[in-house]
Chains A and B, each alone.
Chain A
């Protein structure tokens, strides 16, 4: 799901899911380095405001395998935000902000992740292509989307 972002000309990805667990338990999974490594990526995260840390994974074409991050907001067990990418790790110069919001519900917790700060050129994987390419690729993406 994608939403229009709060800043003009940038966009966000929002993923929301209700989970049958307490906010405190989910907060631990989101802020304990060894647990983050289990579901997200290897990291040297520490729950301190201003903490600089890295996520590490196998490099991919266009990405060095490291994402530089910095904790910008820490409000246990409700809200956590970190900068995701400082523009040096990928060909694209991606710089985004990841914000986690935990809201208690009768059945558990609504977990919301918003990754904001995508520029228009991050939306298309074929920026700079001229001619019929965007049209052709839009058709091919529909094929890929069916997988």
Chain B
């Protein structure tokens, strides 16, 4: 397995982190305080898990006033997709680029 996938597996291998990620992936941006409610873990523990998720590219934070709002970066999961999924995406983008080139070419 490559290094990027390995990091993602280690990051999401922790059930608390996975639950935090899934909760953020399901909807709006949330603060550490909101994420701590109902999580069954302390606020410092949630903060620590969020920084691990952030380093893995799975979560991003935006400062709003004195608080930071966290949201999931689902594109951070891309290294886990198989070659077929990655190539399907690749070719769709290349087809767009080909059409763009054809518009610029002389007949």
Question: How big is chain A's contact interface, by range?
Answer: 35 or more
> B63 contacts the other chain (Cβ, under 8 Å)?
no
A/B pair count, beta carbons within 8 Å: 113
Question: How big is chain B's contact interface, by range?
Answer: 35 or more
Question: Interface residues of B: mostly helix, strand, loop or mixed?
Answer: helix
Chain A residues with CB under 8 A of B78: 144
How long is the Cα–Cα vector from A90 to B75 in the complex, in angstroms? 21
How long is the Cα–Cα vector from A141 to B1 in the complex, in angstroms? 18
Is A91 a contact partner of B82 (Cβ separation < 8 A)?
Answer: no
Interchain Cβ contacts under 8 Å between A and B, 14 examples: A11-B84, A19-B98, A19-B102, A29-B101, A38-B101, A39-B100, A40-B94, A111-B98, A118-B84, A123-B85, A127-B82, A128-B1, A140-B22, A140-B77
On B, residues with C-beta under 8 Å from A are 1-5, 9, 12, 18, 22, 25, 72, 74-75, 77-88, 91-92, 94-95, 97-102, 105, 107
The 9 tightest CB contacts between A and B, nearest first, are: A62-B2, A61-B4, A39-B97, A125-B82, A122-B83, A61-B2, A39-B98, A144-B74, A39-B101
